Amino acid sequence: MSPTRASGPTTQPSTARKVPVRRAVVIGGGISGLASAALLARDGFAVTVLEQRNQLGGRAGSWERDGFRFDTGPSWYLMPEVFDHFFRLLGTSADEQLDLVKLDPGYRVYSEGYDEPIDLRASREDNLALFESIEPGAGKRMAKYLDSAAETYDMAVRRFLYGTFQDFRKLAAPDVLLRMGKLARLLIEPLSTFAESAVRDRRLWQVLGYPAVFLGTSPYAAPSMYHLMSHLDLADGVLYPKGGITEVINAVERVARAEGAQIIAGAKVERIVVEGDHVTGVVHRDRRGVQHVAPADVVVSAADLRHTEMQLLDREHRTHGESHWKKRDPGPSAVLVYLGVDGPVPGLLHHTLVFTADWKANFGAVFGDDRHVPDPASIYVCAPSETDPTVAPPGSSNVFILVPLPADVGIGKGGVDGAGDWEVERIADRAIDVVAERAGVPDLRDRIRVRRTVGPRDFADDFNAWSGSMLGPAHTLKQSAFFREGNASEKVDGLYYAGSSTIPGIGLPMCLISAEVLLKRIHGDTSTEPLPTPLERAADAPPRPTKRAPRRTTAAAG
């Protein structure tokens, strides 16, 4: 049964409101879906969020067992001003919503072939001194590199990240034209080459190149425009929200509910309903298997964009067909390992990176033409119990390991206590051994009390992620800025997109920005800068709840 979009009052006209309520349905309860719901509700929409899982947060979920609590996905809190701006749009602030602490050192790097790690600090000055101590002359070159990174980041925020790319005249602003030559170079030259202008020491070069992984690509393929990432970690420093990234999700959920958004978990979306050329609703099924239709004037899919187009829309309503997606890059996948460990793991900081020497081979395996599981692999390790005692029992360590892999669901699924598919568990065992060696804990395996793995198939099954991608489409040149998928359907009026599949891109800050860019697109706002704060609340906005929204509870496994 399909809903019919009424052109006027039906059986019993309401005298309470003269203006019909604008209805919006948001598909997906990850950070972009929740943020979109909050902004749309403040803008006057009656908003319903449909989340297929029983837990909100999407990839940024939470898992508990035997006193250990793990963030299941993102663990870096970068671009703090983006989070604060989002909350200020809604009349609050990041400081009011979160307990933020600065990490110093920000993170540790182990490089194959070197016995001692490098600890990156919380300030620009300390990091310049560190680079100089390792490579004489690098400090001065790095000062120029970070100046350029800061300038490029500022330009990105003012002219690119918050824009809809619907009016290219906005990109012809005087400050953009003045830097056109440099911008052209930054778009064409890969990050790997650009980083060589600042450092020659392999360890330092790896520090400058690895942020490409946060963008779903390799330093050999990422445009050097993304050297702006070094401004975030080497100059601004790395923050941590006490309680973990799940507290960020809790906060965004709170403000969404406070604005009047209704959030329904366990609602599996089956179809987006289109009548003529306009969206009219969303068909979904609840936990009991009962089918429902949520009527809508606007639908925002914060789910995987390829899944939305290919599975939730009829063929004639898809902006792109399968041939389009075959030419795109889904970005990498990963094996994730969550470990609850008895005792300390002294060689780890809150964030630790372990790099192989042969990056060409490592990144070629993950991102190249002949993609396969890299061995050895560069890995990322998060040990939040070094900072936050709430994430592990007293005297224990919480350890999260990420092994970047090609997006290939054939690698398999993970499981609890070694019950995952053979290849996933083999990759996890290899990574645990690397951590044990680097952290100086030879008995690490013997001290593991809790173990869970996640593989590419889990990303596909749990989040409908294209090819099991862990992040979203890679930020290669042809999938960045105005080349990235747009945030509105070209075939269906009223159908919009948010999240990592669309502009501006992947990562928690980008997903928050995507919600704001979505609101701009709905209003035809072609400005490129962040909206003024606070966002004015629409006169016809839904009533706010009289009670404070409850905090989200996290899923636990026994």
Residue 201 CB: number of other CB atoms within 10 A? 15
Residue 483 shares a structural domain with residue 525: yes
CA distance linking residue 353 with residue 466, whole number of Å: 26
Q: In this predicted structure, what is the pLDDT of residue 548?
A: 47
3-state SS of 64-108 is: EECCEEEECCCCCECCHHHHHHHHHHCCCCHHHHCCEEEECCCEE
Q: How distant, in Å, are the alpha carbons of 96, 258, 412, 517 from that of 91?
A: 10, 11, 44, 18
DSSP secondary structure code for residue 159 in this structure:
I
Q: Residue with structure tokens 């790395």?
A: 238
Residues 234, 367: Cα–Cα separation, whole Å: 26
Same domain, 448 and 477: no
Residue 108 lies in a domain: no
State the pLDDT at residue 541. 75
- Residue among 495, 524, 468 at smallest CA distance from 314: 495
CA dist., res. 459 & res. 472, Å (int):
11
pLDDT in the model for residue 19: 52
Domain span at residue 393 reads: 332-470
Neighbours of 151 (CB within 10 A): 14
Return the number of other C-beta atoms located less than 10 Å from residue 521's C-beta. 21
Looking at residue 546, what is its pLDDT? 60
Among candidates 290, 301, 271, which has minimal Cα distance to 29?
A: 301
Residue 151 identity: E
Q: What is the predicted pLDDT for the residue at 179?
A: 84
Looking at the structure, tell me whether residues 531 and 520 fall in a common domain: yes
Q: Give dist(CA 61, CA 512) in Å, integer.
A: 16
Residue 549 domain-assigned? yes
Domain boundary among 452, 470, 488: 470
Is 107 within the bounds of a domain?
A: no
Q: Give the predicted TM-score (pTM) of the model.
A: 0.93
The pLDDT of residue 539: 79
Tell which of 443, 470, 497 closes a domain.
470
**Cα–Cα distance between 78 and 232 in angstroms, integer?**
6
**Residue type for position 173:** A
In a domain, 3, yes or no: no
């604008």: which residue's tokens? 22
Q: How far apart are CA 229 and CA 227, in angstroms?
A: 5
Determine the pLDDT at residue 177: 83
What pLDDT shows up at residue 251? 99
| Cβ-proximal residues to 80 (8 Å cutoff; 6+ apart), any chain | 94, 100, 236, 239
CATH label of the domain that carries residue 26: 3.50.50.60
Indicate the number of domains in the chain. Answer: 3
pLDDT along the chain (558 residues), means of 10: 32 41 96 99 98 97 98 97 99 98 98 96 98 98 98 94 90 82 91 96 97 93 95 97 98 98 98 97 98 98 98 97 94 98 97 96 93 95 96 98 98 98 98 96 97 99 97 92 94 98 96 98 96 91 62 37
